[in-house]
Amino acid sequence: MDLKNKTIDELISLASQTTCENEAKQLAKSVYMLVRRALARNLNTPINILEELAFDPVLNVSYMAVQNPNISIERDFHALPKCAVCQIPDSEVECSVCQHKEYKPF
């Protein structure tokens, strides 16, 4: 599947709903954090891809991957920005205007 011509909203929607491992593999490589985050939250994402996302360099992605009930990896997130635990649907997130960017200790 060619994802190059899709908008970020289309990619987020696909990432949150896909059940196809090949699509998930491509989406896991997205340059968009919100796409990878939506994939990490998707209960249909294969475990091997969730395991990769659990160590994504963006905490918003890795935290959500570890929270997915289908993964057994545990990580110690001792300090997270509130946006990492944000529960706003990925298609509605507006990170640039968010008022909750301060850190939340865990």
Please report, rounded to a whole number, the percentage of residues in the chain having pLDDT higher than 70.
Answer: 73
pTM of the model: 0.78
What Cα–Cα distance (Å) separates residue 64 from each residue in 1, 13, 51, 70, 86?
25, 16, 11, 12, 9
Model confidence at 105: pLDDT above 90: no
pLDDT digit string, tens, across residues 32-84: 999 999 999 999 999 999 999 999 998 889 999 999 999 988 887 777 666 66
Model confidence at 102: pLDDT above 60: no
What Cα–Cα distance (Å) separates residue 94 from each residue in 14, 23, 99?
19, 25, 10
